[in-house]
Amino acid sequence: MPREEHPLHRLFYPGAVAIIGASRSPHKFGHIQVANLLRMGFKGRIYPINPRADEILGLKCYPSILDVPGQVDVAVITIPAPKVPGAVRDCVEKGVRFVVIISSGFKEAGPEGEKLQEAMLKFVEGTDTRIVGPNTTGILNPEASFTTTFMPIEGPVREGPVSFIVQTGLFAGILLLHILTAERFGIAKVAGLGNKCDLSEVEVLEYLGQDEKTGVIAMYIEGVRDGRKLMEVAREVGLDKPILVLKSGRTEAGLRAALSHTGSMVGRDEVFDAACKQCGMIRVRDFEELIDLAKAFAMQPVPRGPRLGVASYSGAGCVLASDECSLQGLRLAELSKESLDRLAKALPPWARAGHPIDLEPLHEGVGPDAYGLALEVLASDPGVDAIMANIMALPEGLMWATFYAGPDDFLRYFSSARKLAPHKPIAICVGGDKEAVEAVVSALEGAGFPTYPSISRAIRALSALYAYSSIREKLARRKA
Amino acid sequence: MPREEHPLHRLFYPGAVAIIGASRSPHKFGHIQVANLLRMGFKGRIYPINPRADEILGLKCYPSILDVPGQVDVAVITIPAPKVPGAVRDCVEKGVRFVVIISSGFKEAGPEGEKLQEAMLKFVEGTDTRIVGPNTTGILNPEASFTTTFMPIEGPVREGPVSFIVQTGLFAGILLLHILTAERFGIAKVAGLGNKCDLSEVEVLEYLGQDEKTGVIAMYIEGVRDGRKLMEVAREVGLDKPILVLKSGRTEAGLRAALSHTGSMVGRDEVFDAACKQCGMIRVRDFEELIDLAKAFAMQPVPRGPRLGVASYSGAGCVLASDECSLQGLRLAELSKESLDRLAKALPPWARAGHPIDLEPLHEGVGPDAYGLALEVLASDPGVDAIMANIMALPEGLMWATFYAGPDDFLRYFSSARKLAPHKPIAICVGGDKEAVEAVVSALEGAGFPTYPSISRAIRALSALYAYSSIREKLARRKA
């Protein structure tokens, strides 16, 4: 179906947005939300709602959502919890499609809050109005220059294939801040669902499954309302797109904490784990791993097989990579005789050609081009499915050294390898001088090569790419 | 015994050093090594050895080590492998105590190299000369302003309690580069042992055990020559100092790679793992974890028990921390009634006091001082043994926000907590805006509070501190 017809389309691509609790005070969430839309360049209509203001940031203000002249697709609510049910009732009366409730103080806060949550749910029951949240940062869609977040966003947000579904508020904001300032991959959609009193992760997952801008889905969830439905949808979505899942509440202690966070009742972790395996979701341990893998999926293809090619600037790196390769379900590639011969020719007489490729002796033989040669060999060898390179970022004071390569050199080496074998995923571990690492990482990630600060994390990323290729096959077979 | 009497003392505190292969060309290792000593401010005598130069960097040059007038404690060799045995023979004749062989092309490079390695070993047999390496970066001792490394060092190196024993060359150099530019803890000693053809990790471990500057020992090893001896020494050293071990060659693939790296024969991994447990060494997975834990031991005390207190800026953080706490062998603390009452007084009416402490509602109640209050509660509560705080680093544009705290604020909050309970270790997870994270991390680590980019890594660090406190007890009981 055309994307406009999807029931959730207007949540991510609203034509008109009302901010209930919009404020003239630059320090209030209700002000930042309006300012964010203006700075991002939101093209739809913006209706600030505030009975005590005429104008906010140059936009006409309305005393109530009921006074807004046109149709409203999304209403964002940031007023204190006790006033929220009334505002929701008004939104229903106005025929608002989606009410994103940022405010907290609901089920997560105890019996009083639970009552408020139930009260507002009553108002939307049987209507076309859906609630997102409460207790969330809500929606971000760079393509539509649209967000409901209260974290200040300075301008347009980098577009890309990664979408997030997160069951939390502030954490999503901080995660977003990290992604926008420290990461280099782009975002398709973010849906913060908070307490999930109405709109669920399953519905958003289904939506993102058909969203052409989304290439990989990263989820943080505490509880699942309908596990069977989640598995059903995940199986379908997984045919096209990898689903990464960080689910907390894995232990007794975590379960108790989850109950007082988003009020989620969580089932036993083993059950969830088995479900993930069955429907092909890739489970991660923390946000760091979630980002590590999302980046890999955003930037690289999935490999055709498990055979890992490794080039490392040091023997220790070769040994560690060999270990990690086995521990993470990949197989160390065996290089062809032709590949070994090419390496042997470039090596000093005392060194032996082998795999993993130790760059140290190769540097002695051919200088910085050792990187280029090793990558070319791994890219050309038909016995290699994926490539992990462990490279040194050195201060410019070492530019003369036979083993020095700068950001542009690396970019050239890796781009050539990709050209030779566009189907082989590459993950890169970068170590060394802090400033040099930043420069190399920036150059490589800017060009679509994911980098990691450790060999185990780089190989974990490739192993997840491989795991997904197997999952996809399995899901397709089962469907056929 | 006085430290001067330890057989390895002169390796780390030499009075006179010869650089065999010293060079006038600023790009040669033999030049950088001399330059490093000058830049670090080495107080002993430096003898560059080069038959084709009169002077290097203002220092008189000698054609051979045999021409040097005085006693030489350490000779550093960087000439090509085939010439090394001859140089070693000269060093023995000269009565040099330690020969640090940087050059590679020995056992790790095949049968030819193995012969060279055996040849030079023959020369030192039955003499007082010891070989360090070959295939290594050798020694670094900031206290003595001494190093044999070929990585350029710009000036004095930060002193601190962390010592490294590493069985690798270039990797140690790159790791060092990372530590010097990106980390904030200080170094006591580094010993790169390369192929370990003579001086072993066991001897250095014993030395570092009695070295008053060393507080924590971090090891990277591929093979162990004498496992029984290592365990014996580790048990003794472990009574005073934690020993962190990264051992590669854990898998078949890793074993094969290790053989061609440092020529190590490695035993079965399960055996090593059991040995670590018995003698109390803490095993880590990669260099990232090695640094994570070394930093924690360098900066924090070990806790008296396993009860973890948690404060986090978001409910999701509380849930994730609760999970990690259980998964990593700690116990979530139960706060006293007094503590909960203090929190309750500061909270807005809709929120409940509990543990982990969710900072979100607390910020609503008392603003940025929520951090201070939460830390004070955790520091004062007798039911808390260790503290993990998950904090937000926000851009200065958010300074007005009730939940904003800057580097100085955090420094104040954490310093107060440490003052209240100096025996409780603190680990901090910092997330958010990239620049703000750097500023907060720099302020906190500069003051001795270890920071981590993820909750699981922060809790892993505290769990290692706790593990060591149990190990130490067990070792002491066994000895008594």
Rounded-to-integer distance, Cα B268 and Cα B201, Å: 19
Highest mean pLDDT among A158-172, B8-22, B214-228: B8-22
CA distances from A401 to A405, A479, B26, B150 (A): 9, 56, 10, 11
Contacts by residues B264-271 (CB-CB < 8 Å, ≥ 24 positions apart) = B264/B167, B264/B195, B264/B196, B264/B222, B264/B223, B265/B223, B266/B222, B266/B223, B266/B224, B267/B224, B267/B227, B271/B227
pLDDT at residue B267, as a whole number: 65
Provide, rounded to the nearest whole percent, the portion of chain A with pLDDT above 70.
Answer: 98
- Closest by CA to B12, choosing from B233, B214, B183, is B214
Hey, of A219, A268, A320, which one would you mutate to test binding to chain B, going by the most B CBs within 10 A of its CB?
A: A320
Answer yes or no: is pLDDT of B180 > 70: yes
Q: Which of A252, A260, A352 sits opposite B260 (nearest CB)?
A: A352
pLDDT at residue A266, as a whole number: 55
Other beta carbons within 10 Å of B472:
17
- Any A CB within 8 A of B431 CB: yes
What CATH class does B301-475 carry?
Answer: alpha beta
What CATH class does A3-297 carry?
Answer: alpha beta
Answer yes or no: is pLDDT of B260 > 80: no
Q: Across all residues in chain B, what is the average pLDDT? A: 93
Q: Which of A113, A249, A323 sits opposite B254 (nearest CB)?
A: A323
Q: Looking at residues A41-64, what average pLDDT do you find?
A: 96
Rounded-to-integer distance, Cα A421 and Cα B1, Å: 62
CB-based contact A319 B182, cutoff 8 Å: no
pLDDT at residue A99, as a whole number: 98
Residue B43's pLDDT band, with cuts at 50, 70 and 90, is: very high
Handedness of CA B454, B457, B462, B466 (dihedral sign): positive
Q: Looking at residues B14-42, what average pLDDT do you find?
A: 95
CB A138 within 8 A of CB A193: no
Quick one: tokens of B450? 């270890």
- Identity at A102, one-letter amino acid code: I
Query: B314 in helix, strand or coil?
Result: coil
Q: Across all residues in chain A, what is the average pLDDT? A: 93
Residue A247 buriedness (CB in 10 A; 0-12 / 13-18 / 19+): buried
Q: Looking at residues B300-312, what average pLDDT do you find?
A: 97
What would the pLDDT profile of B196-205 be if each residue is shown by its tens digit? 999 999 999 9
Q: Looking at residues B229-237, what average pLDDT do you find?
A: 95
Q: Where are the alpha helices (DSSP H) in B132-226?
A: 170-182, 201-210
CB B247 within 8 A of CB A313: no
Answer yes or no: is pLDDT of B371 > 70: yes
What would the pLDDT profile of A272-310 be if each residue is shown by its tens digit? 888 888 888 999 999 999 999 999 999 999 999 999 999
CB-based contact B257 A356, cutoff 8 Å: yes
Rounded-to-integer distance, Cα B199 and Cα B207, Å: 12
Rounded-to-integer distance, Cα A397 and Cα A406, Å: 11
Q: Which of B171, B174, B326 sits opposite A252 (nearest CB)?
A: B326
A347-351, A427-431, A466-470, B408-412: range with lowest mean pLDDT: A347-351
Quick one: tokens of B281? 């060494």
- Any A CB within 8 A of B288 CB: yes
Residue A311's pLDDT band, with cuts at 50, 70 and 90, is: very high
pLDDT at residue A351, as a whole number: 82
- Any A CB within 8 A of B158 CB: no
Residue A348's pLDDT band, with cuts at 50, 70 and 90, is: confident
Residue A255's pLDDT band, with cuts at 50, 70 and 90, is: confident
Answer yes or no: is pLDDT of A209 > 80: yes
pLDDT at residue A421, as a whole number: 98
Q: What is the total residue count of chain A?
A: 480
B188: left (phi over 0), alpha (psi -120 to 50) or beta: alpha
What is the value of ipTM here, to two decimals? 0.94
The DSSP bridge partners found for residue A358 are A312
A253-267, A268-282, B184-198, B457-471: range with lowest mean pLDDT: A253-267
Phi, psi of B164 (to 5 degrees): -120, 140
The DSSP bridge partners found for residue A393 are A432
CB B76 within 8 A of CB B33: yes
Contacts with A, B 188-247, CB within 8 Å: 220, 222
- Any A CB within 8 A of B461 CB: no
Q: B223 or B442, which is more confident?
A: B442
Q: Which of A109, A288, A332 sits opposite B351 (nearest CB)?
A: A109
What would the pLDDT profile of A374-401 be if each residue is shown by its tens digit? 999 999 999 999 999 999 999 988 888 8
Phi, psi of B273 (to 5 degrees): -60, -45
Contacts of B431 in chain A (CB under 8 A): 174-175, 177-178, 287
Q: Enumerate the domain spans of chain A.
A: 3-297, 302-475
Q: Which of A178, A220, A455 sits opposite B431 (nearest CB)?
A: A178
Answer yes or no: is pLDDT of A341 > 90: yes
- Closest by CA to A385, choosing from A476, A478, A304, A283, is A304
Q: What is the CATH number of domain A302-475?
A: 3.40.50.261
CB-based contact A27 B400, cutoff 8 Å: yes
CB-based contact A168 B326, cutoff 8 Å: no
- Any B CB within 8 A of A319 CB: yes
Contacts with A, B 378-407, CB within 8 Å: 392, 394-395, 397-398, 400-401, 403
CB-based contact B316 A457, cutoff 8 Å: no
- Any B CB within 8 A of A155 CB: no
Rounded to an integer, what is the distance from CA B292 to the centroid of its chain? 9
Q: What is the DSSP string of B17-59?
A: EEEET--SSTTSHHHHHHHHHHHHT--SEEEEE-TT-SEETTE
- Any B CB within 8 A of A288 CB: yes
- Closest by CA to B463, choosing from B329, B326, B270, B298, is B329
Q: Looking at residues A47-63, what average pLDDT do you find?
A: 96
Answer yes or no: is pLDDT of B361 > 90: no
Rounded to an integer, what is the distance from CA B223 to the centroid of its chain? 19
Residue A262's pLDDT band, with cuts at 50, 70 and 90, is: low
Contacts of A171 in chain B (CB under 8 A): 313-317
CB-based contact B394 A27, cutoff 8 Å: no
Q: Looking at residues A225-235, what average pLDDT do you find?
A: 91
Contacts with A, B 53-72, CB within 8 Å: none
Local structure of residue A350 (DSSP, 8 states): T
- Any A CB within 8 A of B457 CB: yes
pTM metric for this prediction: 0.94
Q: Looking at residues B457-480, what average pLDDT do you find?
A: 94
A41-45, A103-107, A266-270: range with lowest mean pLDDT: A266-270
Quick one: tokens of A458? 């780089």
Residue B262's pLDDT band, with cuts at 50, 70 and 90, is: low
Quick one: tokens of B338? 């007094």
B3-297 and B301-475 share one fold: yes
Q: Looking at residues B124-128, what average pLDDT do you find?
A: 96
Answer yes or no: is pLDDT of A265 > 60: no
pLDDT at residue B251, as a whole number: 84
- Closest by CA to A378, choosing from A392, A388, A363, A393, is A388
Rounded-to-integer distance, Cα B263 and Cα B255, Å: 10
How close, in Å, is residue B432 to chain A by CA atoms? Answer: 5
Contacts of A248 in chain B (CB under 8 A): 316, 319-320, 322-323
Answer yes or no: is pLDDT of B264 > 60: no
Hey, of B310, B319, B360, B403, which one would you mutate to test binding to chain A, going by the most A CBs within 10 A of its CB?
A: B319
Answer yes or no: is pLDDT of A264 > 60: no
- Any B CB within 8 A of A454 CB: yes
CB-based contact A394 B177, cutoff 8 Å: yes
